[in-house]
Structure 1
Amino acid sequence: MPIAERDPPKGRRESYVLPKVPVPPLKQTLDMYLTSIKHLVKEEQYQKTKSIVEKFGEPGGTGELLQEKLLEKSINTHNWVYDYWLDDMYLNQRLALPVNSNPAMVFPKQDFRDHKDSLKFAAHLITGVLEYKKHIDTRALPVDFSRGQLAGTPLCMKQYYRLFNTYRLPGLKRDTLVIHETGSTEQEHIIVACKNQFFVMDLVVKEKPLREMDILSQLEKIVKMAENTEERQPPFGLLTSDGRTEWAQARDVLIKDSVNRESLAVIEKCLCVVCLDDPSGMEVGDTSRALLMLHGGGHEKMGANRWYDKPMQFVVGEDGVCGTVCEHSPFEGIVLVACTEYLMKFMTGSPSKIGRATSVSELPAPRRLLWKTTPHIQGLLKASAERLQRLVRDLDMDVHKFEVYGKEFIKKQKMSPDAYIQVSLQLAFYRCNGRLVSTYESASIRRFHEGRVDNIRSATPETLAFVKAMTDEKTSLSDSEKIKRLWDAINAQTNSTIAAITGMGIDNHLLGLREISQEIHMEMPEIFTDETYVASNQFILSTSQVPTTVEMFCCYGPVVPNGYGCCYNPQADHLLFSVTSFHGSTETSSAVFIKALDEGLVEMRDLCKTSNKPQSNAAAASKAVEKSQGAGSKPQSTPQKTGK
């Protein structure tokens, strides 16, 4: 049965106590908010917003009342922002999970000799998953510690305990994050998807866990069963690719029948989903592999061979296209990286045990999940397929490897690679659009109890001054002035990062003030209905650093119709970017953005070569910035949202 979200898993508890997320001073947040938007809006609009913000922050005014309520909540809860953030970022969002919310991790291309090879890979991968799950259940995972700024601080491990025992249940207005007890016997099975069919593979038979050769044997049986066209079921996985309200409505129809109710219950309690994909028929490159992970290529390819509500979904394609697709609400990208890197190292460092043990005799065949359908349900499936196909056609993806230099060159300039790359993204956007826009960069706040992320607002006034120096004022400024402006931009980005990771970011605080006003039934304060606040939370540029130590990369979609999603992975001698946008927007083009990014990175290198002397003592802080800000969380895609 699900347990309360605050209940820890059974087993050994960590011996440290993390502090609570702080509530920043009200005036500090309001001042930082005004600074963050002043250069992004017209002067007339800014003056109107400034007046609204000052009124909100007056002594004895609305802001102080809400701040007091928030401080009270902080005293009485483990984490005052967690539920606000989870609802606003994920559970209240109504758009489809593929592209709009679920990120993907793309594994190295595998060279399978035949179909049996791909099943051996899947069996070995499942074995690794079970090993990792054992570490989680026994609390044997080593505690993560912060690096860089405030190095050595222990980090909250709670997200790891959400990897395999959670499920995002669709709701008409709000989804629910269902959490099962760690180590529950309800979770002694996985779901295997093959040819749009779903099969239950029990992991424990006659009280004995399956060994790797048993798992392979079961996978072989599943493939044979899936090829039986006479027993083939409709592609019900398509429903999970739809908008959350549409899926919730369809689920309400399904559960009226006991057969469907039972199949849904089995899926919702599974450990993970393993998708055995047919060859895609696409040319296998980085971009095509990323597309197949994000949306499966639509219903005509592997888009129905998925169950998008399950947080951990592993894809093994017969053509070597492999990776994970993740429902994002239980955990951030850094936790996903830790899990998948463990699995990749397990795959290469732990030999397959197939053929080295005796199989459990007479294993019961895996069970095909059955569905009862009606003309109404068939219509729902058709509508879901059409909407997924529109999303597939609209996504503009470009995975690009910048090979001129990597993070080692940036470090030699005594600059933070993350801050440097963030400035380069702003330069690229400015080149394409002649302006800067509200930008999201995820910053981990795991140094606090149940910490998730806050936002680093990367489009700073200092960055605007630098990008203008490299474009509008290119010929009128000396290299020394440009270098100075670059350092100012780097330092501003560094300071914003430090503020965010230490709980002093503005976005979570403003969200908390907004939401607590509704809890006490106050009319929504004008600061939150002001056009500037609404626009400042439309993140046209949504970014995240997701670094890996093994060969793989993360990708995700844009969060607004006219925006870009940019996930980057800095390596020693190259920088990998996964850039997404929508073809339906006349304002965006992933290829154009990548071209501008390339040009800007080369120009920044050439500028750095003229001088590598730090321009301020903030450079030391730049070097020390914690790399855990690459949390991999992104705000959700909706043009109406007013929260982070």
Structure 2
Amino acid sequence: MVPRLLLRAWPRGPALVSRAPCRPLSAGTGPSQYLQHSIVPTMHYQDSLPRLPVPKLEDTIRRYLSAQKPLLDDDQFRKTEQFCKSFENGIGKELHKQLVAQDQQNKHTSYISGPWFDMYLTARDSVVLNFNPFISFNPDPKPEYNDQLIRATNMTISAIRFLKTLRAGLLEPEVFHLNPAKSDTDSFKRLIRFVPSSLSWYGAYLVNAYPLDMSQYFRLFNSTRLPKPTRDELFTDEKAKHLLVLRRGHFYIFDILDQDGNIVSTSEIQAHLKYILSDVSPAPEFPLAYLTSENRDVWAELRQQLIGSGNEETLRKVDSAVFCLCLDDVPIKDLIHLSHNMLHGDGTNRWFDKSFNLIIAKDGTAAVHFEHAWGDGVAVLRFFNEVFKDSTQAPAVTPQSQPATTDSSLAVQKLSFKLNDALKTGITAAKQKFDATVKTLTIDCIQFHRGGKEFLKRQKLSPDAVAQLAFQMAFLRQYGQTVATYESCSTAAFKHGRTETIRPASIFTKKCSEAFVRAPSTHSAGELQQMMAECSKYHGQLTKEAAMGQGFDRHLFALRYLAAAKGIVLPELYLDPAYGQINHNILSTSTLNSPAVNIGGFAPVVPDGFGVGYAVHDNWIGCNVSSYPGRNAREFLQCVEKALGDMFDALEGKPIKT
């Protein structure tokens, strides 16, 4: 039985676990080329990972109805119940049988993998705000290392060391350790490496360790989402050795790996980045990067025109680059400015289609902005944690390091694009659309300092459940209702698992929220504590089920996808307004926690929604919320703060202030 895996889809992953010690980098071959030398091969567990289960249809229907209960009145619920009954006994039963048969024929993957890739790649909306999130790094603990050039050099080299370690099979496999004293040890690793790959997962399972799927990792590097009519494609070229650097809307490339696949010397990389930072060319009149923020069909057509205008080879250099390093000219003012800059920026200095953009601002503030179709938060957060750890604990350059005296103008190629009038018009239109859209986005954040994980665990409450309960109370206080809520959970414990949805809005959270918001004086502190305990217990059950692939969202999604693929008329269950309503996620939430993370965020998934990024730390709770004009993020956060304060009062036996 997999435990309550604290793995959210984006952007949360497993906590930082101890890794092999880092070694300082020097040019040439040798240990400095790698982050670590795992004695267990990186993909050792991949073949024996358990398969993602297809839930029983009756369980899915039961869970679906439980999630609908707090959102519907009695009449609506009875209708939805009827739709569910006829689906379960009719067409749903047939579709489920076909899904199980299909799953049995494709044992190399999971039943959700294909449909989920399709869902992302066929979406025609811009990837900006609609899909791509960001995670920002904490500053380097040594202030003098937060210089833009020093940090860009160190993070770039750490990122390339991660790439080399991954490709050499020397990266520690991603494992969730329930009992690290038993499983995260050299003696266990020496033993497990001799267990055949086809059985290795079982060996880990015996010591309460749960290896995670690593099939997405190869797409971290040399990868880009290519716009195509009706369905995009994921492109990867592992042979390419160059880095793409964006600055002030200009594109530069230089080789970061030599002909033998070794990392180019540190001083040369530093010299090349210094050369790029010293370029005083004004920003281009028509910044090409705006096109990656366009509607995907519009961008697909413009890309064809770019290729037709003689830019094919140049575009290939962009698409195949190891990754995109964005050197921004602006210093970061505060956390809200940081969120806006890393989530969307001004549109000129990101290639939003790249698997990830590593962004370093003028003052050394750094973040990863990533495209979501290729993978989820587990792979990104592992990369993120390793880069932070390596670049801060074993930095390749110091403030005293001197760049090489090499002539960087020979090594660095500045890319130029041939633009005809139609392309210039397309870029101008993309810019106008981008500017108009980002202008409508509000982001705000709070830090609640009365307590966090430590206090809540002493109260025997799930910290995540308390945070989610605060969002339910806040929305009820602000808008007087309970709405569809989405919390992402990773199913990486299974082969080709992606994500499942936790549905935090329940009959328990509704009852508890109404007691706190509408009638606190009629309940004793003990009664309120009891209601919170019920919410926590139920939330724990939902989380465990989701991590085990036992939610209802992905199963219903796969059945609907199968019906469409077979040309079957859409079953009534999916035409029920209640189905549309529960999938219109007004509260879209995701949590992340790691010593490397400063703040993370994403836009709302619906126009009248909130995008809620949050983290429950040991002694405080942070929340970063985005909204469009239909909602008020500042007011929502004030209500979250009030909800947390009320719950802490109740837990301390104090009366609730109205």
TM range (shorter): 0.7 to 0.9
Residues 154-163 or 512-521, more deviating = 154-163
State how 1:410-449 maps to structure 2 within 5 Å. 410-449=456-495
Deviations 1:543-596 (A, max 9, x none): 11111123522111110000001111221111111111112x1xx111101100
Contact 1:284 1:321 in 2 (8 A): no
Sequence identity of aligned pairs in percent?
Answer: 28
Per the alignment, residue 509 of structure 2 pairs with 463
Query: 1:14 is matched with which residue?
Result: 44
Match of 2:151 in 1: 121
Deviation at 1:178, TM superposition (A): 2.3
| Residue range with higher mean Cα deviation, 315-324 or 23-32 | 315-324
Map 1:4-43 onto structure 2 (within 5 A).
13-15=43-45, 17-43=48-74
Shift of 1:146: 2.8
Select 1:75's aligned residue among 74, 84, 104. 104
Q: 2:78: which partner in 1?
A: 47
**Greater shift in the superposed pair: 479-488 or 553-562:** 479-488
Contact 2:309 2:419 survives alignment (8 Å): no
SS of 2:110's equivalent in the other structure is coil
TM-score, length-normalised on structure 1?
A: 0.86
> What is the letter of the counterpart of residue 223 of structure 1?
L
The equivalent residue for 1:255 is 307
Q: State the Cα distance separating 1:205 from its structure 2 match.
A: 4.3
Which has the larger displacement, 458-467 or 481-490? 481-490
Matching of residue 553 in structure 1 with residue 599 in structure 2: yes
Deviations 1:89-127 (A, max 9, x none): x22222222222111112235799999942222111111
Q: Is 1:313 aligned to 2:357, yes or no?
A: yes
* Correspondence list, 1:135-534, <5 A: 135-146=165-176, 151-180=208-237, 184-185=238-239, 187-205=240-258, 207=260, 209-224=263-278, 226-229=279-282, 232=284, 234-258=286-310, 260-279=311-330, 284-296=333-345, 298=346, 303-353=347-397, 359=404, 364-534=410-580
C-alpha separation in 1, matches of 2:223 and 2:466? 36
Of 564, 570, 582, which residue of structure 1 is paired with 2:628?
582
Q: Does the 8 Å contact 1:548/1:569 carry over to 2?
A: no
Q: 1:70 to 1:212 in 2, by over 3 A?
A: same
Distance across 1 between alignment mates of 2:74 and 2:327: 56
Partner amino acid, structure 2, of 1:154? P
1:30 Cα deviation from its structure 2 partner: 0.8
What residue number does 2:613 align with?
Answer: 567
Q: Deviations over 1:161-192 (max 9, x none)?
A: 22114211112222222234xxx32x201110
Tell me: CA distance 1:46–1:147, structure 2 relative to 1, closer, same or farther (3 Å).
farther
Q: 1:357 to 1:210 in 2, by over 3 A?
A: farther
Specify the alignment match of 2:18 in structure 1.
none
**Aligned mates of 1:494, 1:26 — CA distance in 2:** 22
5+ residue gaps in structure 1?
1-10, 612-644
Residue 629 of structure 2 is aligned to residue 599 of structure 1? no
Helix, strand or coil at the partner of 2:558 = helix
CA shift in 2, pair 1:358/1:392, >3 Å: closer
Cα distance in 1 for partners of 2:559, 2:124 equals: 23
Q: For residue 108 of structure 1, what is the aligned residue in structure 2?
A: 138
Partner amino acid, structure 1, of 2:135:
M
CA contact (8 A) 2:326 2:350 kept: yes
Aligned residue among 82, 85, 96 for 2:126: 96
CA deviations over 1:236-278 (Å, ceiling 9, x no partner): 00111122222122212211122x2111111111110011111
Which residue identity does 2:300 align to in structure 1?
A
CA offsets 1:519-552 (integer angstroms, 9 cap, x no match):
2221111111211111111110001111112352
1:357-381 deviation line (CA, Å, top 9, x unaligned): 9959656331111111122111111
Give the secondary-structure state (helix, strand or coil) at the position aligned to 1:610.
coil
Corresponding position of 2:37: none
Residue type matched to 2:337 in 1?
A: S
Note closer, same or farther for the CA distance 1:206–1:455 as it changes in structure 2 (3 Å cut): closer
Deviation at 1:15, TM superposition (A): 4.1
- In the alignment, the residues of structure 1 paired with residue 276 and residue 402 of structure 2 have an alpha-carbon distance, to the nearest angstrom, of 21
Aligned partner of 2:538: which letter? A
Which SS does the other structure have where 2:590 is aligned?
strand
Q: Tell me if structure 2 keeps the 8 A contact 1:108–1:552.
A: yes
Tell whether the 8 Å contact from 1:233 to 1:371 is kept in structure 2 after alignment: no
Aligned to 2:187: none
Contact 1:93 1:174 in 2 (8 A): yes
Distance 1:111 1:145, change over 3 A: closer
Amino acid at match of 2:218: Y
Given the superposition, is the C-alpha separation of residues 206 and 56 from structure 1 closer, same or farther in structure 2, using an over 3 Å criterion?
Answer: closer
Q: Distance in 1 between matches of 2:308 and 2:420?
A: 12
Secondary structure at 1:368 match in 2:
strand
Range 602-611 or range 34-43, more displaced: 602-611
Cα pair distance change 1:379/1:27, threshold 3 Å: same
State how 1:607-622 maps to structure 2 within 5 Å.
607-610=650-653
Structure 2 unmatched ranges of 5 or more: 1-40, 180-204
* Distance (whole Å) between structure 2 residues aligned to residue 204 and residue 336 of structure 1: 22
Preserved CA contact (<8 Å) 1:499 1:505:
yes
Q: Tell me whether 108-117 or 137-146 shows the greater mean CA deviation.
A: 108-117
State the AA in 1 paired with 2:52: V
**Does 2:122 match 1:130?**
no
CA RMSD of aligned residues (A): 2.4
- Residue identity matched to 2:512: F
Q: Secondary structure at the match of 2:352?
A: coil
**2: CA distance, partners of 1:358 / 1:456:** 50
Q: Are the aligned partners of 2:139 and 2:146 in contact in 1 as well (CA < 8 Å)? A: no
* Shift, 1:143, TM fit: 2.0
Instruction: Compute the displacement of 1:66 (Å).
Output: 0.4
Separation in 2, partners of 1:479, 1:433: 25
How many aligned residue pairs are there?
581
Aligned letter for 2:289? G
CA distance in 2, matches of 1:551, 1:505: 28
Distance in 1 between residues matched to 2:395 and 2:502, nearest whole Å: 42
**1:432–1:593: 8 Å Cα contact kept in structure 2?**
yes
CA distance in 2, matches of 1:56, 1:378: 52
TM-score by length of 2: 0.84
Residue 192 of structure 1: SS of its match in structure 2?
strand
Q: Report the Cα distance in structure 1 between the residues aligned to 2:362 and 2:419, rounded to whole angstroms.
A: 30
Q: 1:634 maps to what in 2? A: none
SS of the equivalent of 1:415 reads coil
Tell me, yes or no, if the aligned pair for 1:406 and 1:572 is still in contact at 8 Å: yes
CA contact (8 A) 2:151 2:364 kept: no
Larger mean CA deviation between 269-278 and 342-351 belongs to: 342-351
Distance 1:114 1:350 in 2: 15
Matched residue, 2:93: 64
